[in-house]
Amino acid sequence: MAQDLSDTAGTPVPPGSATPTPADGPPAVPPVVPSEPAEPPAGAPGKEPRTVLLARVAAAAAGGLLLFLAFPPLNWWLCAPLGLALVAGSLYGTRPRRAAWLGYLAALVFLLPALAWVRPIGYDAWLALVGVESAFYAATAAGAAMVMRLPWWPLWFSALWVAMEWIRGLVPIGGFPWARVGFSQGETLYTYYAALGGVPLVSFAVALSGTLLAAAVLRLPRRTEGPAETAPGLGAETAPGLGAETAPSLGAETAPSLGAETAPGPGREAAPRAGRGAAPVWRVSAALTAGALAVPALTFLIPRPGDEGKTVNIGVVQGNVPGEGMYFLGDEPAVVLKNHANMTHELAKRVREGKLPKPDVVVLPENSTDIDPYADPAAHAIIDASVKDVGVPTLIGAVVGIGQTERATRSLVWDPATGPGAYYDKQKLVPFGEYTPMKEIFLALFERASLVGRQSVAGTRDGDLKIGPVTLGAINCYEVAYDGIVRDTVRTGATPLVVQGNNASYALSNLPPQQLAMSQLRAVEHNRAVVTAFTTGISAYVTPEGKVSWQTAERVPDATVVTVPVRTQATIATKVGSAPEWALIVVGVGAIGAAAWRRVRHRS
């Protein structure tokens, strides 16, 4: 009787047996659907060979390393999908508990160097942050091990990745959305997905490319010469159950390696002994590879608004600071204020000499004055003189007192005629930098926590500030990583966007280029030019297409005037907001539910 092959993908093939075929015809062509590892037979051994475990560990670690290489300052962006392909391969066919440890390992290898910029605060803070953030990747890997048992698993894996990045941006202590995969794609083929669904869709696209590539490799056929032997690998023929004690891990006696000449692993059709069936299986892998390549290519079809013919001249001042690390202010009072006032005077001089065009507005960095201009008449006079010299409204950055014990990080419009006016107070505050969460506990445990000083108070309004001929969208440093803060500011009609920042404690680390890449994504996401002004760099101008048109070196004073487009048309991403992200989160969580239900049904 002819046998139906629709359920044979991923099921065990007894050693030495040929691939089952219909009695009256050639081997069936496998569908171009990444198949899932089947539940193991009862009594299957539960321990995989050491070589298989080592292969998994190596793949997870290599995947984490490739993810790091994709991020600035290296910007080897293709490493992102390749890294995720290796991570997915390391998880495929293993149990959730083991997958969690593999995910944690991959995250450690990725985040330790990616977040190395935290070290000036303290090595303990760096290691604690990496340890906590890696737990999110571990949980995601456990979920991935479940959803990879479903057909079309690359979609569910990628959606889960987006869900993980979302929850990281919320908890703990307000979240930490750094090192999202989308932020590695500042100016790449994937970048324009930001105009369709924001950074979450960029992350999804990168993950989908990587997992499709992993599925393609896992589906590759192989030739067997006699009985299949125990071989190490990243695909298991008898894939594990969802926690069943008898379920074998990847590589149980029939598990092949990615290159072993044995029976096929999970996601692969059994390799036919005769040549007739090999071609269809190769076509499956080729189709999956084509899908992986098509994902970035499809960005050329995403509609984006064009130029509107309006421009504004923005002066940018980078004054530099005297110190380094946690003590960047140095020992001399008001030196940061004086540095930025002096560079503002220098900008005015270059304009008078005809070396630079006359600006319509000037932007200084966050903390461009280290003295509260409301409370200190001398600081007020220094700022006022520099703004009068340049002769146009200027956006300064100041930390101002709120009562006796609190403060605000403020973007303050300073008019040459009327002085300080409208302002925006930073909404997303940096834990342990601008305020101390669980203050009593951390002050008792860590002396460094007292360096925060006055506790910052979060602002309550969006950053649209009318200044000169435009309404700038003020984003304050850390906030550029948060989708909602930037999107809400753009929706007020603000254009262009201005990111004021102070990275003096992290100068010459990988933080400044990482933040610049975030500004590139924001420019494309919202069809806005982005001007960044930082105390020590990197100050830059990013076009609405995400290209860095001008940037400063770090740790040097600089000033220039850039002509930037004033665009008002909204992208699809701006209009739909977080809807694509929520849709992907629902898909990812739903896939876990489906995998759990499938397991229960299978056991019953």
pLDDT tens per residue across span 259-300: 333 333 333 433 334 445 556 778 889 999 999 999 999 999
Helix (H, G, I), strand (E, B) or coil at 400: strand
Whether 154 maps to a domain, the answer reads yes
With bands split at pLDDT 50, 70 and 90, how would you rate the model's confidence at 235?
very low
Partners of 563 in the β-ladder: 313
Q: How many domains are contained in the chain?
A: 2
Comparing 81-85, 124-128, 361-365, which segment has the lowest mean pLDDT?
A: 124-128
Domain match, 529 and 594 both: no
Q: Are 564 and 311 in contact (CB under 8 A)?
A: yes
Whether 336 maps to a domain, the answer reads yes
Does residue 458 carry a pLDDT above 60?
yes
With bands split at pLDDT 50, 70 and 90, how would you rate the model's confidence at 157?
very high
Mean pLDDT of 394-421: 96
Partners of 533 in the β-ladder: 500
Domain match, 326 and 198 both: no
Domain match, 203 and 340 both: no
Mean pLDDT of 79-108: 98
SS3 content of the chain, % helix, strand, coil (to 5): 45, 15, 45
Residues identified as active-site: 366, 426, 477
- By DSSP bridging, strand 455-456 and strand 406-415 are parallel
Q: Which residues fall within 8 angstroms of residue 356, CB to CB, at 6 or more apart? A: 315, 347, 350, 560, 561
The average confidence (pLDDT) of the chain is: 85
Whether 57 maps to a domain, the answer reads yes
Q: What is the pLDDT of residue 25?
A: 44
Mean pLDDT of 219-244: 42
Measured CA to CA, the distance from residue 574 to residue 526 in angstroms comes to: 6
Distance, CA of 518 to chain centre: 9
Domain match, 268 and 333 both: no
DSSP string covering 140-200: HHHHHHHHTTSTTHHHHHHHHHHHHHHHHTTTTTT---TT-GGGG-TTSTTGGGHHHHHHH
Mean pLDDT of 425-454: 82
Question: Does 25 or 459 have the greater pLDDT score?
Answer: 459
Domain match, 410 and 501 both: yes
Does residue 409 carry a pLDDT above 50?
yes
Measured CA to CA, the distance from residue 453 to residue 448 in angstroms comes to: 10
How many Å from the N-terminal Cα to the C-terminal Cα in the chain? 28
Whether 102 maps to a domain, the answer reads yes
pLDDT tens digits for range 287-342? 999 999 999 999 999 999 999 999 999 999 999 998 665 555 555 778 999 999 99
Whether 132 maps to a domain, the answer reads yes
pLDDT tens digits for range 203-228? 999 999 999 999 999 988 654 443 33
Whether 432 maps to a domain, the answer reads no
With bands split at pLDDT 50, 70 and 90, how would you rate the model's confidence at 448?
confident
pLDDT tens digits for range 519-565? 999 999 999 999 999 999 999 999 999 999 999 999 999 999 999 99
Whether 430 maps to a domain, the answer reads no
Domain match, 524 and 587 both: no
To 5 degrees, how large is the angle CA 546–CA 549–CA 550? 130
Which residue in 85, 50, 45, 78 sits closest to 64, CA to CA? Answer: 85
Task: Tell the residue number behind the tokens 């076009």, with chain if given.
Answer: 543
Partners of 316 in the β-ladder: 363, 560
Domain match, 380 and 504 both: yes
Whether 25 maps to a domain, the answer reads no
Mean pLDDT of 462-487: 97
Domain match, 397 and 537 both: yes
Distance, CA of 472 to chain centre: 26
Domain residue limits at 521: 311-425+456-570
Mean pLDDT of 495-501: 98
Percent of the chain with pLDDT over 70: 81
Phi, psi for residue 580 in degrees, rounded to 5: -60, -40
Q: What is the pLDDT of residue 219?
A: 86
Domain match, 151 and 183 both: yes
CA dihedral (486, 303, 165, 460) in degrees, to 10, reads 20
CATH number at residue 351: 3.60.110.10
Domain match, 162 and 259 both: yes
- H helical segments located in 316-356: 335-352
Domain match, 162 and 289 both: yes
Comparing 255-269, 287-301, 351-365, 587-601, which segment has the lowest mean pLDDT?
A: 255-269
Which residue in 588, 546, 561 sits closest to 164, CA to CA? Answer: 588
**What token pair was written down for 16?**
């030495």
pLDDT tens digits for range 172-197? 999 999 999 999 999 999 999 999 99
Domain match, 316 and 297 both: no
